[in-house]
Structure 1
Amino acid sequence: MENLKEILAGCRNKDRKSQEKLYRQFYPVLFALCRNFFEDKHDILTAINNGMLKVFQNMDQYDSGKGEFFSWMYTIVRNAALTLLRDRKTQTFEYDEIDDRMGFESGSNPFDQLAAGDIHIYLLQLPVATRRICGLHYIDGFSIKEIAEALNISDGTVKWHLSESRTRLRRIFEKSL
C-alpha cells in the first residue's frame, strides 16, 4: 500500500486515484463511525461522502504540525454526520424532552473496562437516539452541553439518554456474565 504522505500529496493535486485510495483506506472506520448515527445504509454513506468531500475540498488546510491526519479527517466526517442528522426533518425517532428536575445523574464511563472491538457490539443493542448520545459523550468526549447544542435538544434530554444507556448496558453486561 502506498505511503499516506504520497496519497495526501496526490489528493492535494486533485488526483482522483489518490482520492479513491484515501477513501478506500479509511472507509471501514468511517463507516463504523457513521453507523453510530444512522441505521439506514444510505444515510451512513451520505454522511461519509459529505465528510470526505469536505476533506478533499479542504485538503490544503490540513497541517501535520497540528495533529494526525486521521484525527483531522475523522472530525470532519463526524461533523458532517452531525450536520446531516441535525438537518434531517423526517427522522424515524424523536428525542423526548426531559425536564432537568428529573434528577438523572451522570456516572462513570461504562466503557472503561471493555476492549475497543466490544464497544461497538454493545452500542448496537441500544436504541438509535440513545446510542448516538452515548457514543458522542463516552467515546468522542463531547460534553453534555455540546451534545445538546449539536442535536438541538435540552441538557436534561442528553442526561436522560446517558442514564438510559448506562441502565441498558448494565442489563446487557449482566446477561453476558
Structure 2
Amino acid sequence: MGRQKQPVRNHSHLDNLDTILAGCRRRNRQSQEKLYRRFYPALFSLCRNFFGQEHDALTALNNGMLRVFQHVNQYDPQKGEFFNWMYTIVRNAALTLLRDRKTQCFEYEEIDDLMGFESPENPLDALTAGDIQVYLMQLPVATRRICGLFYLDGFSVKEISDALGIREGTVKWHLSESRTRLKPILEKALR
C-alpha cells in the first residue's frame, strides 16, 4: 500500500481571526493592519451612514479602531462575537465624533413632537445588507444616520435622542421622512 495522505488542516476563518487577535494583543502592527483590512468594508459602511463626507467617516472608523486596538485585551469571547464587540466600539466612536461636531454645525432642525411616529414595520427587512446600504445612501445624511441607528442597530427613539443630543420629535420626524423617501424606491425594487 502507498503512503496515506495527511489530512489537510482546514484553517477556518475563526482560527485565522484568533491568530490575528493574538498578534493585536501583542501590539503587532502587521496583525493590527490585517484586522483593520479584514473588517474595513463593513465598518466603513457603518461610519458612512453617519457622515456625509468620506473623510469624516474615515476619521470615525480610525478613532474606533484605535480604541479596539487599545482595548483588545478586554474582549471576552464568552460574551459574544468579536465582530459585534468591535462594531459597537466603532459605532460609539462615530456617535462621539458626531456629538463633538454638533456644536460646529447644526445638521438637525429641531422638530416638536407632533408626529407620533409609531411603526413596528421595518421597511428594510426585505433587503440584503448590500441593498440596504445602496438605499440608505439616497437619504440625506441626518436622516440616514437616524434610520440606520433605529432600523439596523435597534436603538430606540429615546436612545437615539440621547446619543445625538436632539429631541425625540426630531428623531421621529427623520424616521417618518426615511419611510416616505424609501417607500417608492423599495416598492419599485421589490416588484
Could you say which TM-score interval applies, normalised by the shorter chain?
over 0.9
1:1-150 alignment, distance < 5 Å:
3-88=16-101, 89-91=103-105, 94-150=107-163
Aligned length: 176
Q: Report the structure number with the largest CA radius of gyration.
A: 2
Render the CA deviation track for 1:95-125: whole Å, top value 9, x for unaligned: 1111113333335110111122111111111
**What amino acid does structure 2 have at the position aligned with 1:157?**
T
Which structure 1 segments of 5+ residues have no match?
none
Query: Matched residue of 2:124: which SS?
Result: coil
Q: Is the 8 A contact 1:105 1:163 kept in 2?
A: no
Structure 2 Cα separation of the partners of residues 167 and 138 of structure 1: 15
1:152 pairs with one of 165, 170, 180? 165
- Find the counterpart in structure 1 of residue 6 from structure 2: none
Q: Is the 8 A contact 1:133 1:147 kept in 2?
A: yes
Q: Is the 8 A contact 1:106 1:159 kept in 2?
A: no
- For normalisation by structure 1, the TM-score amounts to 0.93
Percent of residue pairs identical: 72
Render the CA deviation track for 1:63-104: whole Å, top value 9, x for unaligned: 01111111100100000001001110333x521111113333
Q: Is the 8 A contact 2:115 2:172 kept in 1?
A: no
- For normalisation by structure 2, the TM-score amounts to 0.87
Q: Which moved more, 1:22-31 or 1:95-104?
A: 95-104
State the superposition RMSD in angstroms.
1.5
**What amino acid does structure 1 have at the position aligned with 2:104?**
T
Which structure 2 segments of 5+ residues have no match?
1-12
Structure 1 Cα separation of the partners of residues 123 and 45 of structure 2: 19
